[in-house]
């Protein structure tokens, strides 16, 4: 039985990130490692693998499987939850030793509370060596909330004979259905739950929206600097030369003969986003500080305005060289709800 399209897309995104950021002989820590995906890591020629997952994940079975089918790199497995437990207490000798920490699934579950998200990022920072990367994939909250927002706007534009104060809480596309647990017009920073069900799935899974400015703020507090958060469609476009063959391998018929995404591919790929952070290495170069982000609350009636220039004391100040104007930026700086964007270019 072939894998569902969404699983193959997820596998493509995992392999793409690994190919770009993981170098040979690297030490990699995989948070919420699931089935450990041994073949992908062997292909990347890593030196050492650290798998961490919650006690209920069946990590003992993964360890047994690993010992039976040894790969070209060494491996260790630890049974603990990275968003509730202190990794330094359990893996003291592993701190500041990892080249790459990845969270290729379940980041969204860590945004149930601010405390869980903060604990996860503190653990990531303690594992990474200076210069190391934290990267992964998660459903794109900007895409999801923008679709939900359009539902709300469509409701408000309909006849007043409809029931008042009812906000449509369901998003349907050709590939998936998303249902929010609570009907509301504001995007809370943490704990906004929804059920995601793909076309061929029997049941839905419960996730939490990841509020990107809060994600970046907490990462900065933990000592991680923002590199990029980018919708998977844009991530592919920016790396098309490297990734066209890989995407065709995992999910055929999504590209035209020149390797460009076909219109039907945007709904499936656009559900996900990649995220990349780095732990600065002051001995190599001074870290570029992540901008301080204001805490904002989403207002449905708020009019969104792009800020191409900043006005200070009556004078127009252009963005810094190399950053471009906001309208030229991609990813989380692109169209979407106001509280999922930044008021100025990074």
Question: Which two tokens mark 230?
Answer: 């980018």
Q: What is the pLDDT of residue 188?
A: 82
Nearest to 122 by CA among 112, 110, 131: 110
Check: CB of residue 198 under 8 Å from CB of residue 172. Answer: no
**297 vs 244: which has the higher pLDDT:** 244
pLDDT exceeds 60 at position 242: yes
Q: What is the pLDDT of residue 164?
A: 52
Q: What is the pLDDT of residue 317?
A: 37
User: Residues 114-139: what's their mean pLDDT?
Assistant: 95
Reported as a single tens digit per residue, the pLDDT across 221-237 is 999 999 999 999 999 99
Q: What is the mean pLDDT of the chain?
A: 78
CATH 3.40.50.150 residue ranges for the chain:
5-139+210-278
Rounded Cα distance, 185 and 38, in Å: 42
- Which range in 63-67, 124-128, 188-192, 257-261 is most confidently predicted, on average pLDDT? 124-128
Rounded Cα distance, 220 and 218, in Å: 5
User: Residues 48-75: what's their mean pLDDT?
Assistant: 79
pTM of this structure: 0.79
pLDDT exceeds 60 at position 246: yes
Reported as a single tens digit per residue, the pLDDT across 323-336 is 233 333 344 444 44
Q: What is the pLDDT of residue 279?
A: 95
DSSP 8-state symbol, 328: G
Residues 6 or more apart whose CB falls under 8 angstroms from that of 163 comprise: none
User: Residues 29-55: what's their mean pLDDT?
Assistant: 85
Quickly list DSSP for 93-113.
GGTT-EEEEEE-S-GGGGGGS
The CA-atom distances, in angstroms, between 69 and each of 28, 78, 79, 122, 142 are 19, 18, 20, 33, 40
pLDDT exceeds 80 at position 71: no
User: Residues 178-194: what's their mean pLDDT?
Assistant: 82
pLDDT exceeds 70 at position 185: no
pLDDT exceeds 90 at position 26: yes
DSSP 8-state symbol, 257: T
Q: In CATH, which of 3.30.2450.30, 3.10.20.30, 3.40.309.10, 3.40.50.150 is domain 5-139+210-278?
A: 3.40.50.150
Rounded Cα distance, 194 and 207, in Å: 6
């Amino acid at each position: 039985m072939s894998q569902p399209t969404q699983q193959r897309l997820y596998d493509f995104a995992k392999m793409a990130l690994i190919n770009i950021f993981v170098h040979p002989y690297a030490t990699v820590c995989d948070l919420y490692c699931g089935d450990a995906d041994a073949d992908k890591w062997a292909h990347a020629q890593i030196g050492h693998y650290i798998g961490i997952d919650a006690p209920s994940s069946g990590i003992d079975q993964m360890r047994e499987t690993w010992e039976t089918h040894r790969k070209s790199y060494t491996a260790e497995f630890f049974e603990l939850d990275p968003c509730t437990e202190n990794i330094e207490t359990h893996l003291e000798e592993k701190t500041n030793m990892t080249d790459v920490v990845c969270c290729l699934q379940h980041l969204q579950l860590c945004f149930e509370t601010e405390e869980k998200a903060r604990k996860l990022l503190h653990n990531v920072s303690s594992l990474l060596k200076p210069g190391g990367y934290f990267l992964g994939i998660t459903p794109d909250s900007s895409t999801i909330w923008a679709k939900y927002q359009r539902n709300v706007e469509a409701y408000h534009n309909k006849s007043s004979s409809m029931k008042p104060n009812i906000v449509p809480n369901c998003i349907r596309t050709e590939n998936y259905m998303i249902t929010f647990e609570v009907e509301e017009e504001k995007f809370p920073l943490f704990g906004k739950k929804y059920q995601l069900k793909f076309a061929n799935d029997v049941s839905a899974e419960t996730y939490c929206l990841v509020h990107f400015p809060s994600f970046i703020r907490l990462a900065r507090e933990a000592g991680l600097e923002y590199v990029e958060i980018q919708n998977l469609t844009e991530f592919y476009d920016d790396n098309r030369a490297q990734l066209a063959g890989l995407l065709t391998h995992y999910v055929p018929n999504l590209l035209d003969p020149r390797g460009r995404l076909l219109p039907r591919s945007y709904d499936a790929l656009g559900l996900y986003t990649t995220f990349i952070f780095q732990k600065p290495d002051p001995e190599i170069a001074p870290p570029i500080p992540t901008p301080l982000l204001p805490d904002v609350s989403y207002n449905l009636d708020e009019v969104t305005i792009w800020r191409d220039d900043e006005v200070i004391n009556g004078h127009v100040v252009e963005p810094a060289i190399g950053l471009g104007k906001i309208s030229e930026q991609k990813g989380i700086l692109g169209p979407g709800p106001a509280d999922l964007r930044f008021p100025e270019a990074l």
